[in-house]
Amino acid sequence: MSVVEAVAEPAHPLLEMRGISKSFPGVKALDGVDVALYAGTVTALIGENGAGKSTLVKVLTGIYQPDAGDILVDGAPVRFADAQAAMRAGITAIHQETVLFDELTVAENIFLGHAPKSRLGLVDWAAMRARAGALLHAIDAPISPYARLKDLSIAQRHLVAIARALSVEARVVIMDEPTAALSHKEVEDLFRIIERLKGQGKAILFISHKFEEIYEIAERFVVFRDGRSVGAGRLAETGQDEIVRMMVGRSVEHVFPKAEVAIGGPVLEVAGYSHPTEFADISFTLRRGEILGLYGLVGAGRSEFCQALFGITRPSAGRLTLEGKALAIRSPQDAIAAGIVYVPEERGRHGAVLPMPIFQNVSMAVLGRTTRAGFLRLAEEFTLARRYAERLDLRAAALSVPVGTLSGGNQQKVVIAKWLATLPKVIILDEPTKGIDIGSKAAVHAFMSELAAEGLSVIMVSSELPEILGMSDRVMVMREGRLAGIWERDGLDAETLVRAATGNA
């Protein structure tokens, strides 16, 4: 630590972003953000999922071009036409899921796209291996440049990704959730490397959800919320509570409607639900007419748990009781028959069959009801589809157009319609409003209240705190595959949930 403290922080930022904005159809991902990075300094970028962090990284690395705003390197404005240009300017990133190639060697992965060339213009393999070896040595990574990537552990792959990031003359290193998949020991190794990079005068942007790590490694911070930079400063002068408030900082009551609904008796009781690798010992009771929010960081095991409830994966231990009767769910068919349905997070991949018409998607899980002796009755299917389309205020040209032609919000309505048609008792919604426009979002929220009022029990997985706080009767938090706590809505604040989710008591 003493080395770092001896280096005085420079007065002028190495890299500065001023008023950067970036919009996508229906979403303003970045809205005039300011970020400054200093040489020899780690700056933590903090914010909820969807606050605009990943978009910022993509703008900084030349993958996206900003709609407005300036990027300055050493005070001079620059413009990155593509990823290569950003790399030449010395900006390099280790992404959440760095793209590496299993079948290539470590050296090839490190130098892919900028391999050293011989005079004939061919790849200079000897130089490439030597330089890869030197880079790996420089970060104390005991990995052979000849090894194939597929033979390495996740942590070793990470080191290769870091070596790759340093293989260009990097001045700015962006690390996007670098510790997400690492063990405690591996995180310590990573931090040693970061200290060394600091010593070399590199500016580091460190993105993480975990407060203990941020306070351990970073000197400065920037907080993002809804695509804006809402706070920045030195961590030594700023408490965790203050940062959590900046992350959340808005009154949620006005954004999300949750009608008051009389909560009934227990419907679903889960006891000691466990999975070999993803989650362990989850127990709770879901009541009639209740919306139970399930909050947690990405990778906390929320989707995996919900998919086990729905029979996609099988639990290794635990009991389920639905309306007083013991239940064994081994497949989605079992779950649907019992009245438990799941609206998955990845709408296009798991939720809807996009090339097929709306009415066929709606009837997909209830073909037993719309057919007679196995024969389709199209009139029944159209009637069913129309009933739910009107109820959900679906916007479509016709019920026979492919679901893929609809907007994200309307696709989500089709998936929800499919499950309502099964007349479920419990509906699990996994990030139900992710990536859909504001209008549809409000419609989905209003509809969830309506369902609860009709006596349905809802489990809502969400990474958006306002949604969780606005919609839930109770909130359950998962952290690293375990239950971190369950809270009643009354008097619950965002800070409590963030602390529980990040393990920062």
Partner 1 sequence: MSTMPLDKPTVRRIPDKLSTPTARLLGSWESLLAAVAIAIFFANSLASPHFLDPWNLSDATYNFTEKAMIAFAMTLLIISGEIDLSVAAIIALASTAMGAAAQMGFGAPALVGIGLGAGLLCGAFNGLLVARIGLPSIVVTIGTMSLFRGIAQIVLGDKAYGGYPADFAWFGQGYMSDLSWWPSWHAFEVVTFEMVAFLVFALLFGVLLHMTAFGRRIYAIGNNAFAAEFSGIPVRRTKFVLFLLTGLMSGVAAVCLTSRLGSTRHSIAAGWELEIITMTVLGGVSILGGSGSIGGVVLAAIVMGLVTFGLGLLNVPGIVMSIFTGLLLILVIALPIVVRRLRASS
Chain residues that interact with partner 1, rule: CB under 8 A: 310, 312, 331-333, 335-336, 342, 344, 349-356, 359-360, 364-365, 367-368, 371, 374-376, 382, 386-387, 389-391, 393-401, 418
Nearer to partner 1, 158 or 418 (CB): 418
Nearer to partner 1, 72 or 356 (CB): 356
Nearer to partner 1, 235 or 366 (CB): 366
Is the CB of residue 21 less than 8 Å from the CB of residue 35?
A: no
How far apart CA 67 and CA 176 sit, in angstroms, is: 22
> Minimum Å distance from CB 99 to partner 1?
22
Distance, CA of 338 to chain centre: 30
Termini Cα distance of the chain: 25
Closest among 247, 267, 287, 306 to 481, alpha carbons compared: 306
Nearer to partner 1, 85 or 354 (CB): 354
How far apart CA 273 and CA 158 sit, in angstroms, is: 32
> Minimum Å distance from CB 216 to partner 1?
40
> Minimum Å distance from CB 417 to partner 1?
12
> Minimum Å distance from CB 319 to partner 1?
22
> Minimum Å distance from CB 382 to partner 1?
5
E strand or H helix at 372, and its extent? strand 371-372
> Minimum Å distance from CB 23 to partner 1?
25
Number of C-beta neighbours around residue 117 at 10 A: 12
User: How would you write 290-336 as a 3-class SS string?
Assistant: CEEEEECCCCCCHHHHHHHHCCCCCCCEEEEEECCEEECCCCHHHHH
> Minimum Å distance from CB 155 to partner 1?
30
Is the CB of residue 296 less than 8 Å from the CB of residue 329?
A: no
Nearer to partner 1, 88 or 377 (CB): 377
Nearer to partner 1, 241 or 346 (CB): 346
Name 393's Cβ contacts closer than 8 Å, sequence gap at least 6.
Answer: 413, 443
* Long-range CB contacts for residues 142-146, cutoff 8 Å, separation at least 24: 143/106, 144/106, 145/105, 145/106, 145/107, 145/110, 146/105, 146/106, 146/107
Nearer to partner 1, 211 or 342 (CB): 342
Nearer to partner 1, 128 or 461 (CB): 461
Residue pointed to by tokens 């890869």: 132
Is the CB of residue 30 less than 8 Å from the CB of residue 54?
A: no
> Minimum Å distance from CB 367 to partner 1?
4
Distance, CA of 462 to chain centre: 10
> Minimum Å distance from CB 375 to partner 1?
6
Nearer to partner 1, 206 or 310 (CB): 310
> Minimum Å distance from CB 415 to partner 1?
9
C-alpha angle with apex 484: 155 to 487, nearest 5 degrees?
A: 150
Q: Identify the burial level of 81 via C-beta atoms within 10 angstroms of its C-beta, where 0-12 means exposed, 13-18 middle and 19 or more buried.
A: exposed
Beta-bridged to residue 441, according to DSSP, are none
How far apart CA 111 and CA 87 sit, in angstroms, is: 13
How far apart CA 52 and CA 35 sit, in angstroms, is: 12
> Minimum Å distance from CB 320 to partner 1?
17
How far apart CA 117 and CA 110 sit, in angstroms, is: 14
Nearer to partner 1, 61 or 410 (CB): 410
How far apart CA 48 and CA 464 sit, in angstroms, is: 7
> Minimum Å distance from CB 478 to partner 1?
21
Nearer to partner 1, 427 or 498 (CB): 427
Nearer to partner 1, 205 or 458 (CB): 458
